[in-house]
């Protein structure tokens, strides 16, 4: 098996990095935590719709995995399964762009419903693709290279994401505060946007251009990964009935204490992340940031990955996944604390001061730093901790049964609708603390006795 993996290592590493780079670059233009909340507010949507859309972004990726893993376990090759899901995702992103550019915004209900429906298709397609993608990576990228592999994907995508944020600011508002990046950088973004014909359009067409750019980049990314090489799986199982397949997953959850603990850690993380889409809306609606600041948020959110991915990748490859989970849990207590302080101290009063501007901007930088490490460690921890012969079941079941908690942003919207911003961010802070406590009880797979992985 090792020789077969080596034959595909270079090719898959390069195509995988291209895939991840373009996905991260493209998603910057459709960011569910910075771009979409303000877009939905402009369209007349409520906090609940903002939370629901953000929940789709995460939940759509997780929900289908336990079902697709049942099919994947019975196949020696999974690349054709990935290719089929890529077609579905491309159709979804194409529909998102069309729904924004072609429908009449005066009919806001239909307009918003069409957007959410196509957005759901695109994200469900991503969930269906996740199992074959992760298994192909698990079969062809050695464990000691996975931290660098995932880190490099996000590092290069983060570099491009910084410029994406500047471009977003220019497209949404030519008087954007993105000028803090410097006149030369800002003028370059203006020339690019002007050359592509994206300047001078009002809402919602300006957002439609963002979704066209993002969807195109993501589509190219998926096509690139369709050309990876794949060795045959050594542990092929006869397909179980769905009930039996789910029962096997629940047995693992019952019998594997570390697996159960990791599940709890991920649940706590999701309840911390339920506040993510409301940092942007709070800045615009309560702190009176201009709309062009959305581009700055994206640059800080994605750009922080430029710094963090190198740190997380090196830390993960050298010391393992547990320390990354602990570090991200500790850092995740800072952003909600900042918002709580601003809210209590009257930061929402008219007139945006420099300290408030810097404080709010730092929440996007810190959250981006955390999110990058969490995305990598959530994927690689299970790839390393799971027994090879049960790896598909371990990852698919975990990801699918994290799905209900991926709806936490919708709960966040509900809390914000009936309560206050302080209530929402206080809960986020509480779960961040619980996440930190539980992460210290996790086992580090590299130092654990392999006999305990049953």
Question: Position of tokens 């020789």?
Answer: 3
Confidence at residue 426, expressed as pLDDT on a 0 to 100 scale: 94
Q: How far apart (Å, rounded) are the C-alpha atoms in residues 233 and 131?
A: 14
Residue 2 pLDDT exceeds 50: no
| Distant-in-sequence contacts of 440-447, Cβ < 8 A, 24+ apart | 440/326, 441/261, 442/258, 442/261, 442/262, 442/265, 442/322, 442/325, 443/258, 443/322, 443/385, 444/320, 444/321, 444/322, 444/323, 445/320, 445/321, 445/381, 445/384, 445/385, 446/320, 446/384, 447/320
Residue 1 pLDDT exceeds 50: no
C-beta separation of 423 from 415 below 8 A: yes
Residue 420 pLDDT exceeds 80: yes
Question: Cα-flanking dihedrals φ and ψ of residue 370, to 5°?
Answer: -65, -50
The larger pLDDT score, comparing residue 258 to residue 249, is at 258
pLDDT band at residue 65 under the 50/70/90 scheme:
low
Q: What is the mean pLDDT of residues 92-120?
A: 83
* Segments forming the whole domain that contains residue 25: 2-452
Of the candidate ranges 217-221, 340-344, 384-388, the one whose mean pLDDT is the lowest: 384-388
Of the candidate ranges 2-6, 204-208, 273-277, 427-431, the one whose mean pLDDT is the lowest: 2-6
C-beta separation of 115 from 58 below 8 A: no
Q: What is the mean pLDDT of residues 240-244?
A: 65
Q: How far apart (Å, rounded) are the C-alpha atoms in residues 219 and 44?
A: 29
Residue 395 pLDDT exceeds 50: yes
Give me the CATH number covering residue 379. 1.20.1250.20
Q: What is the mean pLDDT of residues 88-115?
A: 83
Residue 127 pLDDT exceeds 50: yes
Q: How far apart (Å, rounded) are the C-alpha atoms in residues 178 and 340?
A: 26
Confidence at residue 33, expressed as pLDDT on a 0 to 100 scale: 84
Q: How far apart (Å, rounded) are the C-alpha atoms in residues 87 and 121?
A: 11
Residue 424 pLDDT exceeds 60: yes
pLDDT band at residue 3 under the 50/70/90 scheme:
very low
Domain count, the chain: 1
pTM of the model: 0.75
Q: How many CB atoms lie within 10 A of CB 423?
A: 12
Question: Position of tokens 């490859």?
Answer: 317
pLDDT band at residue 66 under the 50/70/90 scheme:
low
């Amino acid at each position: 098996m090792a020789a077969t993996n080596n034959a595909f290592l270079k090719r898959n590493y390069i195509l995988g990095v291209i895939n991840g780079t373009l996905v991260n670059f493209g998603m910057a233009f459709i960011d569910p935590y910075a771009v979409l909340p303000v877009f939905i507010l402009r369209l007349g949507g409520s906090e609940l719709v903002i939370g629901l859309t953000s929940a789709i972004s995460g939940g759509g990726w997780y929900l289908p995995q336990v079902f697709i893993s049942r099919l994947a376990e019975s196949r020696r090759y999974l690349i054709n399964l990935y290719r089929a899901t890529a077609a579905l995702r491309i159709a979804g992103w194409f529909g998102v762009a069309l729904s924004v550019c072609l429908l009449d915004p005066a009919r806001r209900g239909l307009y918003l419903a069409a957007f959410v429906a196509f957005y759901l298709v695109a994200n469900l397609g991503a969930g269906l693709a996740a199992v074959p993608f992760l298994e192909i990576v698990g079969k062809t990228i050695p464990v000691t290279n996975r931290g660098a592999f995932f880190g490099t994907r996000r590092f290069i995508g983060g570099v491009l994401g910084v410029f994406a944020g500047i471009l977003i600011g220019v497209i949404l508002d030519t008087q954007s505060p993105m000028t803090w990046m410097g006149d030369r950088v800002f003028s370059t973004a203006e020339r690019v946007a002007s050359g592509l014909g994206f300047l001078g359009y009002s809402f919602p067409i300006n957002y439609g251009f963002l979704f066209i750019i993002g969807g195109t980049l993501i589509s190219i990314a998926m096509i690139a990964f369709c050309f990876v090489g794949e060795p045959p799986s050594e542990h092929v199982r006869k397909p179980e009935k769905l009930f039996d397949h789910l029962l096997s997953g629940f047995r693992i959850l019952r019998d594997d204490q570390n697996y159960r603990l990791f599940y709890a850690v991920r649940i706590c993380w999701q309840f911390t992340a339920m506040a993510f889409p409301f940092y942007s809306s709070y800045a615009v609606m309560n702190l009176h940031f201009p709309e062009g600041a959305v581009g700055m948020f994206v640059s800080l959110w994605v750009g922080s990955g430029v710094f963090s991915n190198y740190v997380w990748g090196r830390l993960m490859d050298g010391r393992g996944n547990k320390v990354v989970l602990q570090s991200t849990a500790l850092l995740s207590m800072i952003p909600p604390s900042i918002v709580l302080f601003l809210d209590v101290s009257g930061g929402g009063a008219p007139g945006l001061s420099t300290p408030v501007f810097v404080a709010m901007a730092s929440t996007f930088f810190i959250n981006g730093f955390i999110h990058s490490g969490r995305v990598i460690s959530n994927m690689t921890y299970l790839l390393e901790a799971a027994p090879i012969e049960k790896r598909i079941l371990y990852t698919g079941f975990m990801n699918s049964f994290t799905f209900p908690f991926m709806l936490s942003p919708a709960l966040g919207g509900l809390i914000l609708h009936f309560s206050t911003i302080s209530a929402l961010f206080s809960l986020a802070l509480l779960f961040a603390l619980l996440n930190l406590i539980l992460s210290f009880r996790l086992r580090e797979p590299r130092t654990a006795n392999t006999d305990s992985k049953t």
